Amino acid sequence: MWDDYGPLTMGEDCMRKLTRRLAIAILPATVAATMFSSPAHAATNPYTAAEACNNDFGGAWGYATDGHRVIYAGSTKVGDVYLMYNGSSGYNCVATLKSASVGTPTWTDAELIVQGSGSVHNEGQFKYYAAVQRYARGKCVDYLGSMYYSGRWWTNGRAAWGNCG
């Protein structure tokens, strides 16, 4: 057997065959590990914020103006928090939807603060979302969503009163 530099010994030929076989055997495992560990291939949350509020509290929920924030863990998106409103009932709902560890119970929190009425939150180990509601007709509200990811809590929301009415 020959290569670009001359004849190969029996040991060199066997070593090349072994190396080629190892490379062929390892390649599929490497590709699979890269695909499944990549956030781009993470499970998609099957719920919208409106569905989360409807599932937990019933009613028809609309997205509130200035009612969305993304929750990041460094540069990794781990969730979204939404402020929803039900015009017929006067209730607000906050839904924290998971983007990381979707389908696996992890600590997730949704918090709604109603001016003059204090705050309510729903914290627990959820697979897809945490949701909370409170009556807020004629009042201003704040909202927060939090996710426990990589050993710490990550939070986002609105830190000023809004959606008054």
Structure tokens at 111: 């918090």
Q: Which residue, 119, 111, 114, is CA-closest to 139? A: 114
Query: Residue 98: how many CB atoms within 10 A of its CB?
Result: 26
Q: Rounded distance, CA 159 to CA 54, Å?
A: 25
Query: How far, CA to CA in Å, does 132 sit from each of 79, 94, 105, 148?
Result: 16, 5, 18, 18
pLDDT for residue 16: 56
Q: What is the pLDDT of residues 59-88, one digit of tens each?
A: 999 999 999 999 999 999 999 999 999 999
pLDDT for residue 165: 82
Q: Higher confidence at residue 38 or residue 111?
A: 111
Q: What is the pLDDT of residues 4-36, one digit of tens each?
A: 555 655 555 545 554 555 445 444 444 444 444
